[in-house]
Chain A
Amino acid sequence: MVSRAALAALALLLLVGCAKPMRDDLYALLPDQDGQTGVLSVESGGRQAVLDRPYAAARVTEPGRVAAGAITEQEARQAFGAALDAQPGRPTSFILYFLEARDELTPDSRQLLDRIVDEIARRPAPEIVVIGHTDRVGAVTYNDTLSLRRAERVRDVLVKVGIAADRIRVAGRGEREPLVPTADEVAEARNRRVEINVR
């Protein structure tokens, strides 16, 4: 014999169980482009899910109701296609090398410059940062000037092929950020460089 109170409780349970979810939230982790996967924590109403595998996902149907699981690559594509298609190009960077004590590019780097120009031309509203560096031969102040001159030289080339000057920032870091650490007054070709960051 089932009591009336028990029936009422059951009815209430069914009603709550069938209620439409308040939300349709979906949080999903993607593998990084370098093949690694980061960590995303999803916290809702005191509950937390930690996503740390490719395509791990959490659904939140109302605050405090977090269901962890996974989605497929196709599901991600289906639900987020437009957002993924609107993703800006990945920022990238290039290094050009210079002849000793000069603001002349090495022959190899001169060729690379063409590829860099193509890369910049493909990007909408490109932002370019050109940072010059030197090795440790010569005084610090001399190298500050030389590094800036190298950066400006590269900037001028970019402007000459049609890249808007106001999209390019230049800086000289002198001998402060060697790619290869050396003692003072050591000539090191790999440190005589200009770094071009494009985004």
Chain B
Amino acid sequence: MNRIVLALVVVVTALGVAPAGAQEAGNIKVAKGAVQVERAGQQVPATVGAVVQAGDVVVTGPDGSVGITFLDNSLLSAGPNSVLAIDRFTFDSTTHQGSFESSLRKGTLAVVSGKLAKQSPDAMKVKTPAAVLGVRGTEFLVRTGDPKN
């Protein structure tokens, strides 16, 4: 009896916790070489079809590259030796409102903005350690880093 109650508590707790923060932001469509996704302190290899969430940090190795399609149709792809953090992603598929903030800590990034940037010029931001980029419906490239690396 007690064991059943305990099991139920565990199940209920798991159900209560899992959906929070488990918001899908995008899908990995391309993963070549070493690509990892850091989530809540855990590192898992990125695979094609895997979900990317707000809060994730995507890391590529020296031979790695990764391409992600987001729910608003934004496309982000990173080259080797890159660290890309998905800081914030909210998107209302009916009104196309929300916000998308990401940070390229180092490496290279190609971006095609989607419905969020089209709906509102302030909705999409990409940061680097040295700059903040404001996006008004466009395709662009970002490289950031220390020349020593």
| A42 CB within 8 Å of chain B | yes
| A16 CB within 8 Å of chain B | no
Q: Evaluate contact between B146 and A80: CB separation under 8 angstroms.
A: no
Among A87-95, A105-113, A148-156, A180-188, the stretch that binds chain B is A87-95
Q: What's the least CB distance linking B96 to chain A, in Å?
A: 14
Number of interface residues of B (CB under 8 A): 45
Q: Please, which residues of chain A bring their CB within 8 A of the CB of B36?
A: none
Q: Which of B48, B133, B141, B146 contacts A125 (CB 8 A)?
A: B48
Q: Evaluate contact between B144 and A86: CB separation under 8 angstroms.
A: no
Assembled-state Cα–Cα distance A125/B69 (Å)? 10
Q: Please, which residues of chain B bring their CB within 8 A of the CB of A199?
A: 69, 73
Assembled-state Cα–Cα distance A88/B65 (Å)? 11
Number of interface residues of A (CB under 8 A): 47
Q: Which of B32, B65, B110 has the most CB of A within 10 A?
A: B110
Q: Evaluate contact between A81 and B79: CB separation under 8 angstroms.
A: yes
In the complex, the 3 A-B pairs of residues with the closest C-beta atoms, listed nearest first: A38-B138, A125-B49, A82-B79
Q: Which B residues are within 8 Å of any A CB, using their own CB?
A: 27-30, 32, 48-49, 65-69, 73, 75, 77-80, 82, 108-110, 112-114, 128-147
Having A31-B139, A66-B131, one finds 12 other A-B pairs with CB under 8 Å, namely A24-B145, A26-B142, A27-B133, A29-B140, A37-B138, A60-B130, A76-B141, A83-B77, A83-B78, A88-B69, A90-B75, A125-B48
Q: Which A residues are within 8 Å of any B CB, using their own CB?
A: 20-33, 37-45, 51, 60, 62-63, 66, 76, 79-91, 123-125, 127, 199
- Contacts A/B (CB < 8 Å), 5 sampled: A32-B137, A83-B65, A83-B77, A88-B29, A125-B28
